[in-house]
Structure 1
Amino acid sequence: MKKTLTMAGLATLACLAAAPFAAGAATRDDAMVALANKSGCLVCHHVEPGAKGPDGLPPIGPAWRDVAAKYKGIKSAQATLTGIVMKGSNPYDSHWKGQASGLAMPPNAVAIKEADAKRLVGWILALEAPKK
C-alpha cells in the first residue's frame, strides 16, 4: 500500500512539474505569434500548411511547419533564415515553387529587429513537421 501511494505521489509530482513547461510552451507560442503578427510576417506566412493565399492560390510565403521540416538538422539554418528575414531572398533562387505563390521574401529590417527575427526563426525551426 505504501509503495502504491509513493508511486501515485511521484506521478502527481511529475505532472505538476511538467505543467509549467506546457503552459510556458503555449505562452511562448502566443508570444511568437504576436511578434510575427506585429512584424507583418502573417500577411504572407501561416504556421500550418494548407492555407490558401489570395484568389485561392498557395499562400505568398511557405508555411512555417514546412520551413521547419525543410531545414531540420541543418546547423546553419537559423543564421541563414535570419539573414533572409532581414535582407530578403533572391527571386531567381526560389525553392518553394508550387508551395508558395511569392517569388521572393522582401527585406524586413524595417519591420523587425534582428534579435527578434532570430528568436522568431528559432521558434519556427523548433516547430514539429506538418501532420500528413
Structure 2
Amino acid sequence: MLLRSALLLLVLSTPALAADPQDLAKSKNCFACHGLDNKIVGPAWKDVAARFNGQKGAEQLLADKIKNGSSGTWGAVPMPPNPVSDAEAAQLAKWILTRKY
C-alpha cells in the first residue's frame, strides 16, 4: 500500500507533457519568434532541422538551447531562456528535428 501511494504521488507531481508538441510550442509562445516554414525573429523550424539533423547529440543540444537560451548560432539576435521543464524542452527539440526541410 505504501508503494502504491508513493507511485501515485510521483505520477500526480510529474507535469504531463502536451499530447501534441505543436500545441506545447504554441502554449510557450514559440510561434512569436519562429515559423514552421518561415523566419520571423528566429529561424524557421525547418531550417533548424536542416542544420542539426544527423548531428550527434542534436536533440540534447536543441533542448539545452530551448531551455537556457542561445546566441550567435543564427545571427546577432539572441534567443532568451524559455520557461520549460527539461521534459518539455526535450519534447520540443525532438519535434523540431522532425520538421521537413
The corresponding residue for 1:12 is none
Match of 2:79 among 84, 96, 105: 105
Match of 2:44 among 63, 71, 90: 63
> Are 1:116 and 2:94 matched, yes or no?
no
- Which residue identity is paired with 1:120? L
Alpha-carbon displacement from aligned partner over 1:17-51 (angstroms, at most 9, x marks no partner)? xxxxxxxxxxxxx81211001011111111112x5
Residue 95 of structure 1 deviates from its aligned partner by: 2.8
Q: Which consecutive unaligned segments of at least 5 residues does structure 2 have?
A: 1-18
What is the count of residue pairs matched by the alignment?
Answer: 83
RMSD across aligned C-alpha pairs, in angstroms?
1.7
CA distance in 2, matches of 1:107, 1:95: 15
Among all aligned residue pairs of Structure 1 and Structure 2, give the percentage whose two residues are the same amino acid: 36
CA distance in 2, matches of 1:112, 1:67: 19
Alpha-carbon displacement from aligned partner over 1:86-119 (angstroms, at most 9, x marks no partner)? 11113xxx2323xxxx6111011xx222101101
Q: Which consecutive unaligned segments of at least 5 residues does structure 1 have?
A: 1-29, 52-58
Report the TM-score when normalising by structure 1.
0.58
**Structure 1 runs, 4 residues or longer, greater than 2 Å off:** none
Report the TM-score when normalising by structure 2.
0.74
Q: Please give the residue correspondences for 1:5-84 in structure 2 after superposition, counting only pairs within 5 Å.
A: 31-49=20-38, 59-84=40-65
CA distance in 2, matches of 1:64, 1:96: 12
Structure with bigger RCO (C-alpha 8 Å, 6+ apart): 2
Higher alpha-carbon Rg: 1
